[in-house]
């Protein structure tokens, strides 16, 4: 029983993390049909930015709650700037090329940004544990849960609702849905697709940076975190269906709970299980659990 509860709580926290990372990726894919490898860099930049912000804030001994907001704000600002530069500077030039070619373009940008991180922050790692510590923890039965983790789950759930609500009920969300459905028809009706693309990419980048920022206190921010996170996000998004927000949520829950179960019951298969699930889903439903296959062109 205690193991089951531990699996459930660990899995939920891990799923929250995965959803925060994957939601931006799936949004960009849904609207722009870009499988964005650079998302790993957004995450890494967010984490580094947050770690720096935490360092500055807590060294001065300022209030804890403000520290969290400052950390998130800095990270999202970085996401905004990088997203804008990438979309306007590079991706704009390759719209209309093969999807696979655009993946390679984002891969090239990812390599460049990996070194930009080294140039800006250097090779050392940055601890940013203060928000995690100051949040404290609570005991439920025999288990100790960190309040920060609980906050993470709440944040992910709130984000899921917010994204779903804005897609459905806001003006921008509805325009987005039209563009997702048919880009050309949307343009013919006078929707400025270019602006939608730029805004979507920036939102995606900011969400990626947010994922990095809220994870920074839980991990040691160090080189190579973007490399790891991007394959995980790919797995989540591929399981749920690329471009689907519900898909990202379900994918995150499947991978999160699956991994937590593996960690507690059979640690040897921890890494294996994520990609095995991904391969299995792709084998039976290549377009993921939540998307319909696109018709073949003749």
Partner 1 sequence: MLTRANLFGALVFVAVAISALFLPPWLVSLATIAFANALVVLGLVILWRTGLVPFGQALFYAIGAYAVALIGRYTPIRDVFVVVLAGAVAAGVVAYVIGFLLARYREIFFAMLSLAMSMILYGILVKSEALGSTDGFHVEAGSFLGWRPQGALRNLALFWLVLGFCAIAAWVVGVYFRSVAGSMAIPMRDNEIRVEFLGLSVDRLVHLKLVISGVLAGIGGALAALAVQHVDPQMAYWTTSGGFVFVTVLAGAGSVAAAFVGSLAFELVRSIAVALLPGAWQLILGSALLLTILFLPEGLGSLYSRLRRKPAAPKEQPGGPS
Residues that bind partner 1 (CB under 8 A): 35, 90, 93-94, 97-101, 103-105, 107-116, 118-119, 123, 227, 231, 234-235, 238, 242, 267-276, 278-279, 282-283, 286-287, 296-298
Tell me the closest approach of the beta carbon of residue 201 to partner 1, in angstroms.
Answer: 17
Q: Are the C-beta atoms of residues 144 and 137 closer than 8 Å to each other?
A: yes
Tell me the closest approach of the beta carbon of residue 186 to partner 1, in angstroms.
Answer: 22
DSSP tag of 146: E
DSSP tag of 257: H
Tell me the closest approach of the beta carbon of residue 197 to partner 1, in angstroms.
Answer: 18
Count CB atoms within 10 A of the CB of residue 266. 11
DSSP tag of 242: T
Say how far apart CA 276 and CA 220 lie, in whole Å.
Answer: 27
Tell me the closest approach of the beta carbon of residue 138 to partner 1, in angstroms.
Answer: 33
Q: Are the C-beta atoms of residues 26 and 240 closer than 8 Å to each other?
A: yes
Which of 8/272 has CB closer to partner 1?
A: 272
Q: Could you please report the per-residue DSSP string of 128-143?
A: --HHHHHH-EEEETTE
Which of 15/34 has CB closer to partner 1?
A: 34
Tokens representing 235?
A: 């797995």
Say how far apart CA 279 and CA 214 lie, in whole Å.
Answer: 29
Which of 112/265 has CB closer to partner 1?
A: 112
Which of 61/295 has CB closer to partner 1?
A: 295
Q: Are the C-beta atoms of residues 63 and 136 closer than 8 Å to each other?
A: no
Tell me the closest approach of the beta carbon of residue 122 to partner 1, in angstroms.
Answer: 9
Tell me the closest approach of the beta carbon of residue 17 to partner 1, in angstroms.
Answer: 18
Say how far apart CA 24 and CA 30 lie, in whole Å.
Answer: 10
């Amino acid at each position: 029983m205690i193991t089951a509860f531990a699996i459930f709580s660990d899995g939920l926290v891990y799923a929250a993390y995965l959803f925060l990372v994957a939601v931006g990726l799936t949004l960009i894919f849904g609207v722009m049909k870009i499988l964005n490898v650079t998302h790993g860099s957004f995450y890494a930049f967010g984490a580094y930015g947050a770690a720096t912000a935490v360092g500055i804030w807590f060294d001065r001994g300022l209030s804890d709650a403000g520290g969290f907001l400052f950390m998130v704000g800095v990270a999202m600002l970085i996401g905004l700037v990088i997203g804008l530069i990438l979309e306007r500077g590079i991706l704009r030039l390759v719209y209309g090329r093969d999807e696979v070619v655009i993946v390679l373009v984002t891969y090239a940008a990812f390599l460049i940004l990996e070194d930009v991180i080294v140039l800006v922050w250097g090779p050392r790692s940055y601890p940013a544990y203060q928000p995690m510590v100051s949040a404290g923890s609570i005991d439920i039965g025999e288990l100790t849960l960190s309040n920060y983790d609980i906050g993470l789950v709440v944040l992910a759930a709130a984000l899921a609702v917010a994204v779903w609500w804005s897609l459905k009920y806001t003006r921008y969300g509805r325009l987005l849905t039209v563009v997702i459905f048919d880009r050309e028809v949307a343009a013919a009706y006078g929707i400025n697709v270019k602006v939608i693309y730029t805004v979507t990419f920036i939102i995606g980048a900011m969400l990626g940076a947010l994922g990095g920022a809220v994870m920074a206190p839980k991990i040691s921010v160090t080189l190579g975190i973007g490399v790891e996170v991007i394959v995980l996000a790919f797995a989540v998004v591929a399981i749920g269906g690329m471009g689907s927000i519900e898909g990202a949520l379900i994918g995150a829950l499947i991978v999160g709970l699956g991994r937590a179960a593996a960690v507690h019951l059979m640690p040897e298969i921890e890494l294996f299980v994520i990609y095995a699930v991904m391969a299995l889903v792709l084998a039976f439903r290549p377009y993921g659990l939540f998307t319909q296959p696109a018709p073949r062109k003749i």
